[in-house]
A and B are shown apart, each in its own frame.
Chain A
């Protein structure tokens, strides 16, 4: 202890204190503040950048989820539309088939009716012709039968014979 006290130099102590405090104050103002601020700023910058990146990543995920959803919706919509179109097509086809059938039937019926009436007309015509022909034949037959006197007398006799009978 005595050696320590003997070694202690008040002058050196004073110089050391003055110089060190001076150094401390100067460095605080001109070195440590700017250095620590720079380091802090940089660290904050890195922290912010990381947070922003995280945020962006999240946003990207949201966006991709959104687009996924949209895609799904679109796909669904397409599916629905296709289905509807198919239905419409089927309906149109079946409708037109029916229509055609009805139309066909109608035409067939008409044709049948026409045929029927034509047939009737033809039959009527044939009947007339048959009648005319028969009359003509009868005329010819009569003309032939009544061409000589004998025969005419025979006929008159026959007819008179018939009348008597009546």
Chain B
């Protein structure tokens, strides 16, 4: 089957490529005559940039009214700052970065979705590289991402406790939504936890694996809804998730795990033989300890971020092309990418869970494979 598809696919790509190159070059010459598209492009770029970042408002959409003022539809969110004391106020005070918020004699300004301390005029100073030099207060605001996390948490809690209750009520037989979620739970148990962690210890890790899988999956899926919140594509979120995996791995690590880390070759070699190898090997092993969760967090972050960028760029293309051929084409592509993103959403959740289970498996290992090749860990 697949070898049949490849020629079709390459043909399709070639076709699309031809169309695009032709269209874009055509558009370019046409639009270079007046300044319009440049603005549109930067506008779209900024819009994507803005979308990818966390926001202090839960804005659904915005438009410019006849007077030329931007109108935002959405809800303000609470801002919580630590700046020589707790400062709590509504994000409506920022007016989407247009005005300076004054709280207890302190002045704050929203600049590129970050809160800076400033003076009454709201001046933001820049260094030679263009980065703001104003002091940033510690920001614990309930941002759009936090709201989505809370919603996801509530949803998961409601969903899975009701599932648990339905089990109790129906005598261990899944009903309704349970029919959909139970196979996934069993899959995580039988195909992720059991083979990677081992029959003896997998139970201990099951709650974490299940929670992290559904958490990432649901947040990924939320990212594809028109709400379009990019939570799992936010580095702070993935750091937090990977850090938990890291901590769990190393706090549940057995003696064998640590011994393996500092003495990977074990008794297979005399100490004077191991010494020159260990000068290189042990630092690599120790580095690997941190590289593993780091790869985990970057993988999730980059995948979700990239998905959103591609999707939004394709949607943006529609407005750049503004032609009968280009716009439907980019719409079609955006649609196709959306479908792929649905797959990516579950795939990334799966990979995160799978690798977490794999690391737990290393940490929970007990002696058995002294002579197994070291490559397994890399």
Which residues does A use to contact B, with CB under 8 Å?
4, 7-17, 19-24, 26-28, 30-36, 38-39, 41-42, 45
Contact = CB atoms under 8 A, between A and B. Distances in A.
A11 B244 CA distance: 17
A32 B140 contact: no
Interface residues of B, number: 45
Contacts, number: 124
A34 B203 CA distance: 13
B163 A35 contact: yes
Nearest to B203: A36
A26 B211 CA distance: 10
Given A12-B234, A19-B150, A39 B139 contact: no
A33 B210 CA distance: 11
Contact of B172 (A11, A17, A31, A38): A38
Contacts of B156: 23, 27
A15 B172 CA distance: 35
Contact of A17 (B163, B186, B203, B240): B240
A158 to B, nearest CB: 154
B364 to A, nearest CB: 18
**Closest 4 pairs between A and B when the two form their complex, measured CB to CB:** A31-B160, A34-B164, A28-B207, A38-B167
Most buried by A among B168, B186, B236, B237: B236
Interface in B104-149: 138-143, 145-146, 149
Contact of A41 (B153, B172, B185): B172
Contacts of B157: 23, 26-27, 30-31
Contacts of A39: 172, 182, 185-186, 189
A31 B182 CA distance: 12
25 contacts: A11-B146, A11-B236, A12-B236, A14-B140, A16-B236, A16-B241, A17-B240, A17-B243, A20-B149, A20-B153, A20-B241, A23-B156, A23-B215, A24-B211, A28-B207, A28-B211, A32-B206, A32-B207, A34-B164, A34-B167, A35-B163, A36-B189, A39-B186, A39-B189, A45-B172
Contact of B235 (A8, A11, A45): A8
